[in-house]
Amino acid sequence: MSLFRPPLMRAAAVGEAIVLDRSRFAKTVNLAAAAVADKKQISGWRRKLQQDRSLISAERIPAVVSHPEPALASQGAKCLLLDPKIRPAAPETWTPSLSAGVQAAELGIVPYDLQLNYDYWLYEDVMRSILPAEVRDENDGFPVGFNQAGHVAHLNLRESFLPYRKIIAEVLLDKNASVRTVINKVADVGTESEFRTFAYEVLAGPDDLNVETRENDCVFRFDYSKVYWNSKLESEHRRLVNLFTPGEVVCDVMAGIGPFAVPAGKKGVFVWANDYNPESYRYLAENAKRNKVSQFVRPFNEDGRTFIRRAADLVYEASARGEYALAEGSRKDRRRKPPPHDHNTKSATPPPEPQRTPLPPTISHFVMNLPASSLSFLPSFRGLYFGREALFAPHTATKLPLVHAHCFAGKPENDSDEAPFRDVVERVARGLGVEGLLLGKEGEVEEGAVEVREVRNVAPNKTMYCASFRVPAEVAFAPRTAEEAGGS
């Protein structure tokens, strides 16, 4: 309701200094309050007045307040704030419960001046008050979303908001306790770096982008200016990790600092994790060590196209050597003292043997989280398992790997619009060099079909998708070129 909106501020014209004056957000709201004669009856009267909707109903405003008279407040007298439609000097506005309480001398209806200030208003409230209507539109309104990495809030402001970027950052800093630094991207990701890093300016707080963040029960540390991180993908990271089975092998082709690889390793999944960015590779290794999953997560720093086939070869060779991970039991088990020697028994109970998890010879999943270009990597799957057909069905129970490739496509116009999904399927087919791939059902990855799942909207007409499909046999077992065969 308008009573609880902040005062309207008229920001300075573009080109003039735009300053956040927090004192201008002070506002007095004239209300009525029910003074309860007996303090012990506060709870009872609160229930009665709530039932007949006499009480105030506004976010972040308490129903029970101290009496407006300082002398009575010092004695512990309390009041119940009433709905704004109720006026102290107008009994015709009182509800039956209030009237009955006054007649019984159990209540007194008194004026109450509710003082609101800058601390009360939410970020959205302040933005509506400050930003002029001409810089807003029906789609954006004002900047509300940001990517957060540890203590850093990363904005991506459109041009009309740039004159107000400092004040936007100040308010964002004020209203988010976990944020200490606010930055704004000044170039598209990848424009100045092939590693998906970006140029930025600091809008508020210290220029400190060394962050620590937690996601999916793992701790990640990194320099946000040198690697790619997107907190809005946490649910997508979790979704894919939940598809992996402990003991199987996943190849993460564009692993970044490990948002897929490290939680998967913690689950007991072997991950061959690669990133082309040397800084991402360094932080990937550090984060694997920090989260105690180095037995399962092996970092690499190679071009993804080369790595796809090389990973398949490396996993096969490592499995043939008999490599494994060793589970040493829980920390509680390791700390448990052996029982005292009992001379009446032959020996004390020995500690349990560490459990070995052998490395399988094949990769079960490939993850390709580079939505701008991941589908261009698909030709690298040709000849993935050339000459190793005996590893897979029908010779064994093992199926060919699933690929989860993220990509961009248009936004569906409505719930029945399949055009963007079919576009993704066609691009997957072209990348693999096959025909006849079908659009599969969501939640199912069938032979010869591609499951296309919406991940998130990234722009008004641009959506991120995840295309999941099984590598076709004619692709996996195709002959490699002489150059490819020499590098295997």
| Confidence label for 138 from pLDDT (cuts 50, 70 and 90) | low
- Could you tell me the two tokens for 134? 């001409």
pLDDT of 2 reads 75
Tell me, what CATH number does 203's domain have? 3.30.300.110
E strand or H helix at 229: none
Residue 474: the pLDDT is 97
Q: What is the mean pLDDT of residues 379-399?
A: 97
pLDDT at 260: 98
Q: What is the pLDDT of residue 186?
A: 84
Amino acid at 75: Q
On whether residue 340 sits in a domain, the answer given is: no
Question: In this structure, are 272 and 182 located in the same domain?
Answer: no
Residue 186 lies in a domain: yes
pLDDT of residue 484: 59
Q: Model confidence over 285-322: pLDDT tens digits?
A: 999 999 999 999 999 999 999 999 999 999 999 999 99
> What is the amino acid identity at position 406?
H
Per-residue pLDDT band for 152 (boundaries 50, 70, 90) equals: very high
Last residue of a domain, one of 99, 116, 133: 116
The confidence score (pLDDT) of residue 387 equals 96
Q: Which tens digit of pLDDT belongs to each residue from 418-464?
A: 999 999 999 999 999 999 999 998 888 999 999 999 999 988 889 99
Q: Are residues 98 and 137 in the same domain?
A: no
| Residues 159-185 pLDDT 10s | 888 888 999 999 999 999 999 999 998
Q: Are residues 133 and 108 in the same domain?
A: no
The answer to whether 82 touches 33, Cβ cutoff 8 Å, is yes
Residue 344: inside a domain: no
Residue 147 falls in which region: left (phi positive, over 0), alpha (psi -120 to 50) or beta: beta
Question: What does the radius of gyration of the chain's CA atoms come to, in whole angstroms?
Answer: 31
432: nearest Cα among 485, 362, 361, 366: 366
d(CA 158, CA 135) in angstroms, rounded, equals: 10
Structure tokens at 147: 């990517």
C-alpha distances (whole Å) from 251 to each of 273, 297, 369 are: 6, 10, 11
**Residues 14-52: pLDDT tens digits?**
444 567 889 989 999 999 999 999 989 999 999 999 999
Domain residues for the domain of 453 are 218-322+352-482
> What confidence category does residue 191 fall into, taking pLDDT thresholds of 50, 70 and 90?
very low
CA distances 397 to 131, 361, 391, 393, Å, are 62, 13, 9, 5
Shared-domain flag, residues 298 and 388: yes
Top mean-pLDDT range of 69-73, 199-203, 401-405, 439-443: 401-405
Look at residues 334, 215, 213 and name the one whose alpha carbon lies nearest to residue 266: 215
Pair (382, 256) in one structural domain:
yes
Angle between helices 96-103 and 42-51 (to 10 degrees): 150
Residues in the chain: 488
In this structure, are residues 244 and 364 in contact, taking their beta carbons and an 8 Å threshold?
yes
The reported pTM is 0.83
pLDDT value at residue 229: 93
Residue 341 included in any domain: no
Could you tell me which residues come within 8 angstroms of residue 26 by beta carbon, excluding any fewer than 6 positions away?
A: 115, 116, 117, 118
Same domain, 279 and 397: yes
Q: What is the DSSP string of 391-407?
A: GSTTSSSPPPPEEEEEE
Considering the chain, what percentage of its residues have pLDDT values greater than 90? 73
Any domain includes 274: yes
* Number of structural domains found in the chain: 3
State whether 368 and 407 are in the same domain: yes
pLDDT given for residue 185 in this prediction: 86
Contact 147, 160 (CB under 8 A): no
Where residue 141 falls among pLDDT bands split at 50, 70, 90? low
Lowest-pLDDT range of 91-100, 113-122, 329-338:
329-338
444 and 419 together in one domain = yes
Give the confidence band of 198 by pLDDT, cuts at 50, 70, 90: confident
Domain match, 180 and 55 both: no
Q: What is the CATH number of the domain that holds 69?
A: 3.30.70
- Taking the C-alpha atoms of residue 411 and residue 330, their distance in angstroms, rounded to an integer, is 47
Tell me the three state secondary structure of residue 116: strand
In this prediction, residue 347 has a pLDDT band, given cuts at 50, 70 and 90, of: low
Q: What is the CATH number of the domain that holds 356?
A: 3.40.50.150
- Residue 21 in any domain: the answer is no
pLDDT of residue 336: 54
Distance CA 402, CA 383 (A): 15
- Would 333 be classed as within a structural domain? no
Domain membership flag for residue 197 = yes
Asked if residue 139 has pLDDT above 80, the reply is no
> 380: pLDDT confidence band, cut at 50, 70 and 90?
very high
Q: Taking phi first (over 0 means left), then psi (-120 to 50 degrees means alpha), and beta for anything else, what does residue 176 get?
A: beta
Q: Is the pLDDT of residue 341 over 70?
A: no
Token pair 């720093």 in the structure block, residue:
301
DSSP class of 413: S
Same domain, 361 and 461: yes
Between 458 and 400, where is the model more confident? Answer: 400
Q: Are residues 85 and 184 in the same domain?
A: no
Instruction: Looking at mean pLDDT, say which of 144-148, 309-313, 341-345 comes out highest.
Output: 309-313
Q: Please tell me the least confidently modeled range out of 32-41, 279-288, 349-358.
A: 349-358
Is there a single domain that holds both residue 379 and residue 273?
yes
